[in-house]
Chains A and B, each alone.
Chain A
Amino acid sequence: MTSVNPPPPGEGAAAALAVGGDSYLSHAKGLRSWIFTLDHKRIGVMYLVAVLTSFFLGGVFALLVRTELWTPGRTIVSADTYNKLFTLHGAVMIFLVLIPSIPATIGNFVLPLMLGAKDVALPRLNLASFHLYVVGAVFLLAAILTGGVDTGWTFYTPYSVTTGTSVILTTLGAFILGFSSIFTGLNFIVTLHKMRPKGMSWFRMPLLLWSLYATAIIQVLATPVLGITLLLLVAERTLGIGIFNPALGGDPLLFQHFFWFYSHPAVYIMILPAMGIESELISVFSRKHIFGYNFIAYSSIAIAVFGFLVWGHHMFVSGQSGLANMIFSLLTFSVAIPSAVKVFNWLATMYKGSIRFDTPMLYALAFIFLFAIGGLTGLFLGALATDVHLHDTYFVVAHFHYTMFGGTVIAFLGGLHYWWPKFFGRRYSERWGKIAALLVFVGFNLTFFTQFVMGSHGMPRRYYNYLPQFTPYHQASTIGSYILALGFFVMAGYLAHSLIKGERAPANPWGAATLEWRTSSPPPYYNFEHEMTAGDPYDLDTVRFVSRAEGWVPATEGAGS
């Protein structure tokens, strides 16, 4: 399968992409030069191919789920198959797509470039991270091929220790993917501490780097807890040790505490890098200095810290004590504030700007719209009395898709379109880019807004069958998912076209002031010819527009130094 052995973008493509002189794409040839490369850019590209392949797989599962829900009862598959489909959709999207999406692809590629550095601090660890990702993906794939798994991506006990499906392969896959994530996080922490260039104090880092730093802290501190929990689950299943299963003297709620101790911070692993991208895009495409840099930087750290203290809000109806519920609810509201602050800062950044609507900016604007809905609907779930009614209904499904898809995936797409010329040295079709963005936006809202209404009316989640009263909502949602899929189909088309025939991109096509735009597109193997000195990453007066072919260049020689 392609997700196991992500192929390089092809020999022919690599050769075609070598614009003029040497680039990281043409620096060495052959499959081995990719699989065993220590170059952060190639690792980023391989991660990108792997993550997009996984996204395709998870998307196919999602479409099968939505198609099955066209009618109550059986539409295309049995109840058992349906249960496996939504489990695999969740597991693939969380562990193979959302967690590594921005840090491992865009982060790997861009972080050293933003530092003006040659590579990350620990290139071998970086490669090990990717290899572990592939091994973890193989485990998940093996689980799918040996009959699938039907526990939901949450693996709640005692169901997960009693079901006959491939729980062990899946959890071992997630365990290995956890180490892949830890390695990336560790690498970023060391790199940001040790390799910032002259002139880049902590508070002169691009905000994407602040958010990747906050993310890395969560990855390193929270992921081991997931690893231990999943190992205990495997031990319980294979050795019959009573940890979570009450039949053996264990406590099923203990599993939920352990699981959410990781998995709630994990949603910030997913959303924080998205917010980082958002800060870059809004500033560049508004031609404005970011507003409230310090507040945005501190809010990333605040989210990372508070994010560790709110896991109990997944357990408000589980039977945990009223006192615990009260504290977790209060802390949950506290974590909402830094997110709100960021949104206001982005809006203020646009004030009196000169706003362009290139494809990355369309995603940045869509992000504000969708993330606002995702964040505000969190208030209903953080409040105890309303959560009791809405818990485990489609309202929750809609809420987390608005944050995880409307937030993370939309920002990832914005970032992908923004750095695409840097990745491959090519532009893509702006017209088709806008069409795809519109299809994704419309399809997404149709798919998931209907689910808020269904959920508040009492439609429980993970239901194969449903009451006839919910049929119109389900059908609207399913139609929305097809429109969404069409958007991605269009996107795959023009991006593939760009790889082969796209117009050459200049070093700095958007007019950004961060360092990755000071080297050619695609960058040479060694990234920069000279040692770089950083200035204010949001002082956009340091660059001026020359022409479409030449892009933006430093306003004066040595500007920004």
Chain B
Amino acid sequence: MTTLLHCALLALTAAPGKPSFLMPREASTVAGEVDHLFYLVLGISAFFFLLVVGIMLYFVIRYRYREGVAAEKTATHNTALEVTWTVIPLTLALVIFAYGFKGFIDIVTPPANAYEVLVTAQKWSWQFTYPNGYVDKDLHVPVNRPVRLVMQSQDVIHSLYVPAFRIKRDVVPGRYNKAWFQATTPGEYQLFCAEYCGTGHSTMLAKVIVHRPGGFDTWLADASNLLKTMSPVDAGRHLYTVRGCAQCHSIDGSGKTGPTFKGFFGHKVVLSTGQAITADEDYVRESILDPQAKVVAGFEPVMPTFQGRLTNEDITSIIQYLKSLSAGPKGGGGK
């Protein structure tokens, strides 16, 4: 019976990429399975609803009060009947449970080769960090490749929800929650915050942009090249903030784990070996790529290398930014 219903209702399921009767368009590998179950449950529900309301309407019309016609005495219980209408719904419920559980396992189990993107949620915006360190406010992904999201929250609970992918996962402060999906159709999709988080909850939106084959790598290289859209000094300032420099190097002269960048570039520094050198372009470049080569006196050799994590353009931008911090109040540089 359920199979028949299912077939009838399958007609309601639209072709992939278009919204169906009750669901948004399907754009991930799990969406089809979820919709399959959705319409199966809809079929079962519609059947029982029509059964119950149909019987009810038939009875209230057929057995409505009539002058002089009394209610007929019927059995006040029938164990066989009652067991039947307990067992049939129970069986169907267990079938729905099993499909639901299987689908859930698929939704939460990422393949081993998934591309990883870090997600940071905060009131009221999303940040997506790519393996090369680039950060975007929208989620760009390649088509037909599993993507795994490792998510953390800076403040309260948020929830990442992409209806077209049929995925949703809370982003909880103090722990990493993970989600994954594999987009099947290039295009632009809506991403919502689904856990109430205050004033801007309903505007905490982002886009998921699914790139055509090959398009994602080009986009990422392009987007990561900050110099296309900003001056080298601005690009350097951006990298200083988002790539972690700021955690150890102040720009106001105060002491942190590493030397301050205020008035650093172009001045003499004493190294741990006692040698004094001028902090020029080559010294900064060497310190980024091989931080332990020449450590400034008084600091521990704890800085990690950025070899392979910053491009030549990135390093140049950072150098330009450091220069601006050594120039007068209005940066004019050495030029």
Chain A residues with a Cβ under 8 A of chain B: 79-80, 83, 150, 152, 156, 158-159, 162-163, 246-247, 250-253, 286-295, 316-319, 322, 325-326, 329-330, 333-334, 336-337, 340-341, 343-345, 347-348, 350-357, 365, 368-369, 372-373, 376-377, 379-380, 382-389, 391-393, 453, 456-458, 460-467, 538, 540
Q: Is the CB of B65 within 8 A of A382?
A: no
Contact of A383 among B53, B55, B85, B99 (CB under 8 A): B99
Shortest distance from the beta carbon of A559 to any chain B beta carbon, whole Å: 17
Beyond A388-B104, A456-B38, is A252–B196 a contact (Cβ under 8 Å)?
Answer: no
Q: Is the CB of A291 within 8 A of B198?
A: no
- Interchain Cβ contacts under 8 Å between A and B, 15 examples: A162-B155, A246-B172, A319-B169, A322-B105, A333-B93, A336-B93, A352-B71, A353-B59, A354-B69, A355-B63, A380-B38, A385-B30, A388-B168, A458-B163, A460-B161
Q: Is the CB of B198 within 8 A of A457?
A: no
Whether B72 sits at the interface, judged by CB under 8 Å, is: yes
Please measure, in the bound complex, the distance between the C-alpha atom of A51 and the C-alpha atom of B101, giving whole angstroms.
Answer: 41
Whether B226 sits at the interface, judged by CB under 8 Å, is: no
Apart from the given pairs A158-B173, A247-B174, A372-B52, 4 other A-B contacts in the complex at a CB distance below 8 Å: A162-B156, A354-B64, A365-B60, A383-B97
Residues of B within 8 A of A322 (CB): 104-105, 108
Contact of B77 among A162, A294, A347, A464 (CB under 8 A): A294
Contact of B76 among A250, A291, A318 (CB under 8 A): A291
Q: Is the CB of B52 within 8 A of A355?
A: no
Q: Is the CB of B89 within 8 A of A340?
A: yes
Residue of A whose beta carbon sits closest to that of B87: A337
Q: Is the CB of A286 within 8 A of B194?
A: no
Q: Is the CB of B193 within 8 A of A460?
A: yes
Q: Is the CB of B175 within 8 A of A319?
A: yes
Beyond A156-B157, A356-B65, A386-B37, is A329–B174 a contact (Cβ under 8 Å)?
Answer: no
Residue of B whose beta carbon sits closest to that of A358: B65
Please measure, in the bound complex, the distance between the C-alpha atom of A462 and the C-alpha atom of B194, giving whole angstroms.
Answer: 9
Shortest distance from the beta carbon of B92 to any chain A beta carbon, whole Å: 9
Q: Is the CB of B63 within 8 A of A376?
A: no
Residues of B within 8 A of A373 (CB): 49
Residues of B within 8 A of A458 (CB): 24, 161, 163-164, 190, 192
Residues of A within 8 A of B78 (CB): 291-292
Q: Mark B56-80, 1 if CB is under 8 A from A, else 0.
A: 1001100111100111111111100
Chain B residues with a Cβ under 8 A of chain A: 19, 22-24, 30, 33-34, 37-38, 41-42, 44-45, 48-49, 52-53, 55-56, 59-60, 63-66, 69-78, 81-82, 85-86, 89-90, 93-94, 96-97, 99-108, 155-157, 159, 161, 163-164, 166-170, 172-175, 177, 190, 192-203
Contact of A355 among B24, B59, B75, B96 (CB under 8 A): B59
Residue of B whose beta carbon sits closest to that of A458: B163
Q: Is the CB of B199 within 8 A of A79?
A: yes
Shortest distance from the beta carbon of B70 to any chain A beta carbon, whole Å: 6
Beyond A341-B82, A352-B71, is A462–B201 a contact (Cβ under 8 Å)?
Answer: yes
Please measure, in the bound complex, the distance between the C-alpha atom of A423 and the C-alpha atom of B52, giving whole angstroms.
Answer: 33
Q: Is the CB of B173 within 8 A of A163?
A: no
